[in-house]
Amino acid sequence: MEALLLAWFAAHGRDLPWRKTRDPYAILVSEVMSQQTQVERVVPRWERWLERWPTIEALAATPAAEVIREWQGLGYNRRALALHRTARHVAEHGWPEDLTVLPGVGRYTADAVACFAFGRAVLPVDVNVRRVSERTGHAFSHASAQALMDLGKTVCLARIPRCSTCPLAAACPSRGSRFEPARRQGPFEGSFRQRRAEALRAVVAGSQPVDAEAVASLTRDGLLRVDGVAVSLPD
């Protein structure tokens, strides 16, 4: 089954720029940016980010305010702050053996960097990898990580998989099945997340936000700082 998957990937795998590097910093940036963000939006932002900060040391030497400004439009701004803190940690101490000690780096991201950058024999399990593995009942190796991600993203879809075009369909016990929709996150419009985003954008643009609750929340996360009545980005 794994050989069939890899043959399919050789012909149909997505051409993503971070798949052409083994630089752990570049791969980490791609993984953090891709969390809850469509890959089509990530590619140009990833390229711009690395043009501006080509090394992790360059990012570490940059004020947090500039990192937050550059992140605007990608959403979930805490990711930018965590990435910046990680850069400062690595610039000072080097890459740790256990990557989960880095700010904002969970099990999946740690395994992705370990596999794709450091060549460790670990399979990073995201939602697409888990879906394909569970439906096929097959234990895939780390060599199939990228292929599993692409198959889950483009063929083995969450609700109605495209079994007619799947290279694993003949041996898949779930072939032809339909699945209940996964629980979706609440709408952004009108949410507190939107209020936070608007408050942060106001500060980035040089204005003072009027939503005190959103400012307080952003301040607790380290994305803003309050000095008296003045609200600004962190240093």
Backbone angles phi and psi of 230, in degrees to 5: -90, 135
* Alpha carbon distances (Å) from 10 to 128, 150, 152, 167: 18, 11, 15, 12
Burial class (CB in 10 A: 0-12, 13-18, 19+), 213: exposed
Give the span between the Cα atoms of 165 and 177, in whole angstroms: 14
DSSP string, 30-61: HHHHHTTS-HHHHHHHHHHHHHH--SHHHHHT
* Active site residue ranges: 31
User: Taking the chain, what is the end-to-end CA distance rounded to the nearest angstrom?
Assistant: 51
Give the span between the Cα atoms of 195 and 210, in whole angstroms: 10
- In 3D space, the residue among 173, 138, 174, 167 whose CA is nearest the CA of residue 9 turns out to be 167
Give Dmax (Cα) for the chain: 66
- In sequence order, the β-bridge partners of residue 227 are 230
